[in-house]
Amino acid sequence: MAQLHRVVIRGILAFVLLAAPLTMLGWFAACPQYGDPTCPSSNNPMAVMSAFRDANAHVQQLFLLLNLLAPYVYPLSYLVLGLLALKRAPWLATLGMICGWAGGIAWGFIADTMFHITIFAQAGTDQLFVSHENSFFTLPYVLAIATGWVIGHLLGYILLGIALFRSRAIPRWASVLLILSAPVMGPIAYGTNIGAFQLVGYLMVFIASIPAALVLLKTDHQLSELIP
């Protein structure tokens, strides 16, 4: 039973590592305002209403399903990545986990907003939605969540990439890929206003996560050895 338990735990952790970037990649690809890196735009709520109302029904259902999955796997993926580097680069790994978790946990609020937008769009209450959005984004709590997301998820990948590079827990090319994903999905995507860079960034994270998942699945690797 103990051996089975270890196999199950390893499988869950590996699943989280791979599911998180794939979920985010799918989210940005299925977002009704695809192409806009801020999808959905907080600056043009009427365009948001139109995009959500005109979205393909099957794609929109996939989008809502990904919103359901993201809050559960995305924050945890940072903790799993940090676990791999914790013994040999404890401070960098810890800071990376904190930043990543702070950015990832915000997805619970973001997902909730997507469900509300969908309801507003289906009801055809555009003006009510505009009023709601204008009030919503003036709340300092919302600004704090948004700031945590933008800074946290990018800084998390940079710090964890450096920690993994120093610890050599995974191949160094994968660590570099993880580090480079942050500017691709952040400054480059928003600077060029091309949402496809979000997809490229999360694809880079997914590729970098494959060797990390393989490390976790190795039968001769003890999880207890990862913690200092």
Could you write out the DSSP letters of every residue in 187-198?
A: IIHHHHT-THHH
Q: Dihedrals φ, ψ of 214, to 5°?
A: -65, -35
Q: How confident is the model at residue 137 (pLDDT cuts 50, 70, 90)?
A: confident
Contact 102, 148 (CB under 8 A): yes
- The residue that leads in pLDDT, 111 or 124, is 111
Structural domain including 136 reads 2-226
Number of domains in the chain: 1
Token pair in block for residue 73 = 């796997």
How large is the greatest C-alpha to C-alpha distance in the chain, in angstroms?
A: 60
In this predicted model, which residue has the larger pLDDT, 166 or 49? Answer: 166
C-alpha dist (Å) from residue 76 to 14, 25, 71, 121, 225: 11, 16, 9, 31, 19
Predicted TM-score (pTM) of this structure: 0.91
How does residue 221 score in pLDDT terms, banded at 50, 70 and 90? low
- Please determine, for residue 155, whether its predicted confidence score (pLDDT) is greater than 80: yes
Residue with the two structure tokens 């990832």: 104
